[in-house]
Structure 1
Amino acid sequence: MEKWQGKVAIVTGASAGIGAAIAKALVQKGVLVAGLARRIDRIEELSRTLSMEEAPGKLYGLKCDITKEEDILKSFKWITENVGPVHILVNNAGLIKPTSLTEGATQDWRKVFDVNVMALCICTREALKIMRKNKIDGHIIHINNIGGHVIPCIPKDESLMNVYPASKFAVTALTESLRQELKILKSKTKVTSISPGMVITSEFQKNLGSAASLYYKDGPTIKPSDVAEAVIYSLSTGENVQVQDLIIRPFGDT
């Protein structure tokens, strides 16, 4: 990780759960991290904690609704001018809605794709613009999901997954499409998809409610810090190695 010390990383959805764990891990490795979220009070609280621990990096909190392109553009501009050009982008922000394909609301479906696919594409495009302009060999990391590889079998009365796996299958495809595009451009910027299995976070429980919590409570899970470790591993590989697709299952998962 020495090559990233003092460099700039952008982490979306950094206020809690996996995003907060990734931001913390990067700061502890000496990276300057800009955390994007709608609730920056949590990011600022984490930043104060890391400062007290004398972590070698620094965490900046920026209020950003990633479903709004103007918010993304404004945030990337501020980061470039006040922190520096981005070297690492972690597209972590994700959304799942408890709806169904047979009776679901259009606005819920659209919201899932806006967060999980469109925002990821916009952030990736803007980061790559900055990297190419500044001749940076960077790293794009998509926090995917095991649902981007297999369709989870969920009891029909809960109707939890609906369009969510489709949005994550899109992330899997976008990772490979970007890898091919960067290869054609002779870019040395890497792209990685990290697909964790079940991670129970406050956002997961909030969005899916008590039924999901009961369904998963006895099953094997992984922690947000486990996903953060996978990010650090992917960033730590040598120039000749690209971790394209990393699936992390809870031990004992079926």
Structure 2
Amino acid sequence: MERWKGKVAIVTGASAGIGAAISEQLVNSGLKVVGLARRKEKLDNLAKTLHGKSGKFYGIKADICNEEDILKAFNWAKENLGPIHILINNAGLGRPTSLIEGDTSDFKKVLDTNVLGLTICTREAVKDMRNNKIDGHIIHVNSVAGHYVPQVPNMNIYPASKYAVTALTETLRYELNFIGCRIKTTSISPGLVDTDIFLANGYLVDNQTVELLKMMPKLQSKDVADAVLYILGTPPHVQITELTIRPVGELP
């Protein structure tokens, strides 16, 4: 991680859970971390807890569904901190509905966040890395649901969005190879993580779902952050294209 010290990393969905844990690990490793999220008060609280660490955290209010927000945040980072070296596409959400009866607005929100927002952030990061001749790293926080469809109620369009992330990671790797660019790209696919994503996205609406989640083994956000540091710590000639991590005992 020494080569990343003092460099700029952008983390989306940084206000809580996995994004906050990744931001903390990067700041502790000496990076200048720009955290993007909609909840500015949570970003400010995180900045306070990370004050005085080896690196520094900067919270920027941005909705990943809004391209203008993304462009403004990236421009702020470049103008105030320097070129981008690392992008962690962590922002993601689901909606507790079904393919059979769901609203188009819910489907669109998931795709705008999990697929289009990720793609726009990636484009902007790669453009800046290439303009500054930086062999950076793009990491997509994917999911095991990007490799198989879990038999869980109300998943609807979420697995499809994560399958898209799997394809986007590999497509980006091909595109970078075709132009002889040494920017790395990685998909990290966690199993169930103990965060507030289910509560925040309205999934905990019935006792059956609550009890099911209680019984299931879970990773902690720090486990995913540790995996991100492992990926970033590989030497320049090594590329981890896909890393799947699960809690022991997770099915299937």
TM-score (structure 2 length as normaliser): 0.96
Runs of 4 or more off by more than 4 Å in structure 1?
none
Count of residues in Structure 1 that have an aligned counterpart in Structure 2: 248
RMSD of Structure 2 on Structure 1 (CA) = 0.9
Q: Secondary structure at the match of 1:74?
A: helix
Select which of 232, 237, 240 maps to 1:235: 232
Matched AA of 1:162: N
Write the deviation string for residues 139-184 of structure 1: whole angstroms up to 9, x where unpaired.
Answer: 0000000000011012xxxx32000000000000000000010001
How far is the alpha carbon of 1:116 from its aligned partner? Answer: 0.2
Identity %: 57
Write the deviation string for residues 43-97 of structure 1: whole angstroms up to 9, x where unpaired.
Answer: 221111111xx31000000010110101100110011001111100000000100
Select which of 191, 195, 202 maps to 1:197: 191
Q: Distance in 2 between matches of 1:30 and 1:40?
A: 23
**Range that drifts further, 136-145 or 207-216:** 207-216
Q: Which residue of 1 aligns with 2:57?
A: 59
How far is the alpha carbon of 1:210 from its aligned partner? Answer: 4.0
Q: Distance in 2 between matches of 1:233 and 1:125?
A: 24
Q: Distance in 1 between matches of 2:195 and 2:49?
A: 20
Given the alignment of the two structures, is residue 8 of structure 1 paired with residue 21 of structure 2, yes or no? no
Write the deviation string for residues 97-146 of structure 1: whole angstroms up to 9, x where unpaired.
Answer: 00001111110001000000000000000001100001110000000000
How far is the alpha carbon of 1:204 from its aligned partner? Answer: 2.0
Q: Which residue of 2 aligns with 1:221?
A: 218
Q: Distance in 1 between matches of 2:82 and 2:210?
A: 41
Given the alignment of the two structures, is residue 70 of structure 1 paired with residue 68 of structure 2, yes or no? yes
How far is the alpha carbon of 1:206 from its aligned partner? Answer: 2.4
Q: Which residue of 1 aligns with 2:204?
A: 209
TM-score (structure 1 length as normaliser): 0.96
* Structure 1 gaps, min length 5: none
Select which of 93, 96, 99 maps to 2:94: 96
How far is the alpha carbon of 1:201 from its aligned partner? Answer: 1.2
Q: Secondary structure at the match of 2:85?
A: strand
Q: Which residue of 1 aligns with 2:160?
A: 166
